[in-house]
Amino acid sequence: MQDSDNNLLAEKQANSYSETSSTTKNPQDQLDDYMKHFGWYQIVIILLTISAKSTTGIQATLPLFSVHKQDFKCDVGNVTGINESLLYEHDDPVCGVENLDFCRINVEYLESVQNKSIYTDPNGGRIGNESVTNRYQDCENFVFDKTGFYEHTFTSEFDIVCGNRVYADWIKSCYYVSVILSVYIHGALADRFGRRPVYIGTGIGLLFATLFSAKAWSPESYVIARMTVAYFMFGYSLVMYTICIEVVGPSARSKANFMYSLIYGLGTFIMSYPLASVWGSNWRTLEMACFWYTAICMLPTIFLIPESFRWQLIKGQPEKARVLIHKIAKKQNEKLYDEKHLDELIIQVCKQKEAENSEEIDAPKKSMLTIFQHPTLTKLTFKMSFMWFVNAFVYYGLTLNAGHLPGTTIQNNAVMGALEVPAYIVMYLLTDWKRMGRRGYMGVGLLVASFCIICSVIAIQLGGDSCEADQSTKKVYELMAQIFVYIGKFCITGTFMVCYIWSAEMFSTDLRNTCIAVCSIVARFGSILAPFVVGFQDIFPGFLGIVFGGFGLVAGIVAFQLPETLGKDLPLTVEDAELRYSMKTKKVRHG
């Protein structure tokens, strides 16, 4: 989905072309009727855009497999007769069994074995007169277990273990740093130079970036490659979404948005099956498979998707827009096609847009600072930003935690991706139910998600890490942990999407996009921090449940303090919103 963080920013670019307060059909509405709101042309364009969108889900979950953890030991060369209990430093025993730290070795013991001044019998006892002291140092080279599915990963190629394991978290985190820059830079470029030049440029850039990622020669180069992939990926996705929304008529916009949103989960599923399941044993092969998938999905869009005729109309390019509009209208509505009348409508729409642009120029400018002049709106903005942060934090945290759950990473990632489809469907149904609404779904969804996250951690501690539990009991607890996480991911997927709908209805028209942009930036910090929380659970197993569950519980409670917007008129100005919400606050306090 959920990189659909940029959906509302793109919708800003689309909505300005069709909004009207008139009770009769204006020229823009008549033009949409001529071309049909959701005909064959629109369906083809949407299918092309959503196929390209699936690559976002693939790239977001790629590190789960390329940087997968592998069992390892210190590489001591061809030395034989080593007792690992004497070679490695000891951590605290687990269930009465010694726990070896494969990152540190006793160099005194290793040198003694190499010099054959000390030997060990099969039971680990020492034979020889020379005593050996314990002098430990960090291991420099490692050997990895390649007997399982993962034979050659980024982890094993560049020794991303022990002190270097932090690179795995940075690879996942830096990916989302680029998103903040990408969405707003490419959004501005697409508004100024058109949709087609930007999606062609970002598409070509993405292909080179994915190839660069597959050929990375060091951990640092891979981090840069992943940031470059994210920069072009989300710019491309933003413009594709804008085209998807602009190509349909107003009555079909929610349908197009729904179809586009579902594809992120499908991309996550495709990352597991077939990509990772077939090519995942070698990380470079998997990276190349992702490159070819991206190329196959992207190249048709470059040749088949034209410039947005709505952008051409608003930029005063009626002659360019006319060619495509006539082509679409003639094929989709041949019976009503009237060339002369259509030309008149195009001219009227251009004049209407020119008038709207001049009104926007003459209107007083408002910035985010305007919000802080109104105390009630300031509180609402902070609370809504917190909702965005927590949803992104928990959503991406659960996504990246697939590799730490019982079962295989491929299976967990596939299930989490598949769950996004019913999650969206349920969300759309329940948020329009008066007894639930936006506030109820957000609050209940976050509380349920948090409860499930905490329960999953408890189940793992009781079963998977319990010394007393037998194998059958452990499997039951592991299954419970998986189910709880799946339910949590189902809930947080829906609540994350509600953030967009709820924010768009809560903030006033004159500052709606600015406020949503701020909330989206705050959410990005959540996605940037999430990989470190997931990685830290290797040191403290209950950390993920405490952090994600705790933040979710707090956000669930805060959600019930925000106003319900279902069925309410949208506030037009900041002053209107301040008056409306301050009155509701007084009613709550005194009523």
- Determine the angle formed by the axes of helices 40-61 and 195-214, rounding to 10 degrees: 30
Q: Residue 127 pairs with which residues in a beta bridge?
A: 119
- End-to-end C-alpha distance for the chain, whole angstroms: 40
Q: How far apart are CA 51 and CA 49, in angstroms?
A: 5
DSSP secondary structure string for all residues of 375-419: HHHHHHHHHHHHHHHHHHHHHHHHHHGGGGSSS-HHHHHHHHHHH
Model's pTM, two decimal places?
0.82
Nearest to 549 by CA among 478, 447, 462, 476: 447
Q: How far apart are CA 61 and CA 169, in angstroms?
A: 13
Sorted by where each begins, the domain ranges of the chain are 72-144, 370-586
Q: Residue 100 pairs with which residues in a beta bridge?
A: 90
CB 265 within 8 A of CB 61: no
Task: Return the SS3 of 570.
Answer: coil
CB 421 within 8 A of CB 262: yes
Q: How far apart are CA 152 and CA 348, in angstroms?
A: 62
Residue type, 318: P
Name the token pair of 506. 């809560």
Q: How far apart are CA 183 and CA 185, in angstroms?
A: 6
Name the token pair of 273. 């099956």
Q: How far apart are CA 191 and CA 385, in angstroms?
A: 26
Secondary structure (H, E, C), 59-93: HHHCHHHHCCCCCEEECCCCCCCCCHHHHEEEEEE
Q: How many beta carbons lie within 10 A of that of residue 15, not counting itself?
A: 17
- Decide which of 1.20.1250.20, 1.10.10.10, 1.10.3210.10, 3.40.50.720 is the CATH code for 370-586: 1.20.1250.20
Name the token pair of 10. 């793109």
Name the token pair of 45. 């364009």
Residue identified by tokens 């009465």 is 96
Tens-binned pLDDT, residue by residue, of the chain (591 aa): 545 455 544 444 444 444 433 345 677 777 777 667 778 888 888 888 888 888 989 998 999 899 888 888 888 877 777 777 777 776 666 565 566 777 888 777 777 777 765 544 444 444 444 455 667 788 888 888 887 888 889 988 998 888 788 888 888 888 888 888 887 788 888 888 888 899 899 999 999 999 999 999 998 899 999 999 999 998 888 888 888 888 887 777 777 877 888 888 899 999 999 999 999 999 999 999 999 999 999 888 888 888 888 888 777 787 887 888 878 777 776 666 667 777 777 777 777 766 666 655 555 566 667 777 778 888 888 999 999 999 999 999 999 888 888 888 999 999 999 999 899 889 888 888 888 888 999 999 999 999 999 998 888 877 655 566 667 777 888 888 889 999 999 999 999 988 888 888 888 776 777 787 788 888 889 999 999 888 887 777 778 888 999 999 999 999 998 888 888 877 777 777 778 777 655 544 444
